[in-house]
Amino acid sequence: MRGPGRSWVTGLVLLLLLPCAMVISATMGFMEVPAIEVLHAVSGRLLHIPGQIDPVVMAVVTDVRLPRIFAAVLVGGALAVCGAVFQAILLNPLADPYTLGISSGAAFGASLVIVLQVFGLTLPASFSVPVFAFAGSVGTLFAVLALASGDRRLSSTNLILSGVIVAAILSAAIGLLKFLADEQVGIIIFWLMGSLAGVSWGDILLLLPVTLAGLLVCLMSGRELNIMATGERAAATIGVNTVRLRWILLVTCSLMSALCVAVSGIIGFVGLIVPHFLRYLVGPDNRWLIVLSFLGGGLLLLFADTLTRAVLPAEVPIGVLTALIGGPVFCVIFKNRQHDGSKGL
């Protein structure tokens, strides 16, 4: 019922859908632009052909909408890939890119700098919030790894527990920062809920190489990730260096997620739902799951972002939207799996 055939079909469908969705999304918004003009604007900008297109349309499509569309695809794709990999290395179907406290670290960093600004620190907000968020995530990652690496095997239970502990401490600290921010608390709350509204081409220039490099590292480890699912001792005696693989992938995926969070704030559920849904569709083979998660995650976040940007009357924070769409879908999958009678999700 599943296997390579189904994976190929799913992959091809997603590969066709994604560019179509990107073009359609670019036509939508306050100003409607026909699809053909979107393509003209893109080719015009790329090939430096001036004059064919209204410069306003050109600016709206290439400078306002496209960076945001690309960011949605890259952030969604990266988060879903990280989710798939985290689930595989932590041997836990409930893991997501934020399990090790990446999001709490970012939230703490961002809240800290926002509060410092309330108290008179002068740094440009557009620059300092992402930098502090990224630094917060990376700091958290190292704290969690330091806490968990007491046993050299870096067991998944230790990692998850360490993540929970550090995240709990950080969320208390964030609570304190919110209290200190007083009337300015809205800025923190809005940032925490995530948004792709302020994205520029500069962000894409950072996101694209990191995401593609991370994707490559994950893809190279696909078969070893599969073998990890059979347990520590079995994997080690079949030639998989489990500890080294965990280190490499945890650091890679954490950096990817940290960058995503720095660019877009905390967008939940994409990293949990997409790998789950695809595993349900094509099976647990990570070599497929990683590629398909990238395409599927990109598509889902693009859909959600287009919805909030162009369809809904007011811009709903995207983190809220993904949870509202993803949550019920997750419930349905979860229920179906129980009926199937299969124990391991």
Partner 1 sequence: MAAKGSDILWQLEGVSFGYTGKPVLDELNMVVEAGCCHGILGPNGSGKTTLLDLLCGLLAPEKGSIVFAGQSLSHWHGRQLARRLALVPQDFTVRFGFSVREVVEMGRHPHLPRFGSLGRADHLLVDEVMEELDIASLGKRSVTQLSGGEKQRVAVARALAQNPEVLVLDEATSNLDIYHSLAILEAIRRRVRSGKLTVVAALHDLNLAGFFCDRLIFLRGGELVYTGSVEEALNAALIHKVYGVEARVRQDDFSGCKQVSYRLSRG
Site for partner 1 contains 216 (CB under 8 A): no
CB neighbourhood size of 152 (10 A)? 7
For residue 86, what is the enclosing H or E element? helix 66-89
Q: Judged by CB under 8 A, does residue 236 bind partner 1?
A: yes
Given the complex with partner 1, which of 1 and 314 has the nearer CB atom?
Answer: 1
Q: Quick one: which segment of 30-38, 217-225, 246-254, 263-271 binds partner 1 (CB under 8 A)?
A: 217-225
Measured torsion, CA atoms of residues 291, 295, 298, 303, in degrees rounded to the nearest 10: -150
Return the number of other C-beta atoms located less than 10 Å from residue 222's C-beta: 18
Residue nearer to partner 1 on the CB measure, 185 or 345? 345
Query: What is the enclosing helix (H) or strand (E) of 226?
Result: helix 222-228
Q: Is 240 in the site for partner 1 (CB under 8 A)?
A: yes
CB of 209 or CB of 231, closer to partner 1: 231
Task: Name the residue nearer to partner 1 (CB basis): 198 or 283.
Answer: 283
Q: Which stretch binds partner 1 (CB under 8 A): 14-22, 200-208, 219-227, 298-306?
A: 219-227
Which residues, numbered 156-195, are part of the site for partner 1 (CB under 8 A)? none
At its nearest, how many Å lie between partner 1 and the CB of residue 10? Answer: 17
CB of 50 to partner 1, least distance (A): 45
How far from each other are the two terminal CA atoms of the chain, in whole angstroms? 17
Cα distance between residue 181 and residue 116, in whole Å: 9
Tell me the per-residue interface mask from 139 to 158 with partner 1, x by CB under 8 A, - otherwise. Answer: --------------------
Residue 11 binds to partner 1 (criterion: CB under 8 A): no
Rounded CA-CA distance 307/309 in Å is 6
Q: Is 339 one of the binding residues for partner 1 (CB under 8 A)?
A: no
Nearest to partner 1 of 313, 344 (CB atom): 344
Tell me how far apart the alpha carbons of residues 343 and 93 are, in angstroms, rounded to a whole number.
11
Q: How many CB atoms lie within 10 A of CB 312?
A: 11
Among 23, 59, 185, 229, binds partner 1 (CB under 8 A): 229
DSSP 125-154: HHHHHHHHHHHHHHHHHHHHHHHHTTSTT-
48 binds partner 1 (CB under 8 A): no
Cα–Cα distance between 296 and 217 in angstroms, integer? Answer: 19
Q: In this structure, are residues 59 and 15 in contact, taking their beta carbons and an 8 Å threshold?
A: no
Asked if residue 129 lies in contact with residue 191, where contact means CB atoms within 8 angstroms, the answer is yes
Q: State the nearest-atom distance from the C-beta of 333 to partner 1, in Å.
A: 13
Contact assessment for residue 251 and residue 179, using Cβ atoms and an 8 Å cutoff: no
Stretch of 8-16, 42-50, 87-95, 168-176 contacting partner 1, by CB under 8 A: 87-95
CA distance 251 to 259: 12
Interface pick for partner 1 out of 93, 171, 180, 184 (rule CB under 8 A): 93
Distance between CA atoms of residues 196 and 267, nearest Å: 10
Question: Binding partner 1 by CB under 8 A: which of 40, 65, 279, 309?
Answer: 279
Shortest reach from residue 240's CB to partner 1, in Å: 7
Binding partner 1 (rule: CB under 8 A), the pick from 120, 237, 313, 339 is 237
Q: Does 283 bind partner 1 (CB under 8 A)?
A: yes
Binding partner 1 by CB under 8 A: which of 202, 239, 311, 339?
239
Q: Which residues bind partner 1 (CB under 8 A)?
A: 1, 88, 91-93, 220, 223-224, 226-227, 229-231, 233-234, 236-241, 279, 283-285, 341-345
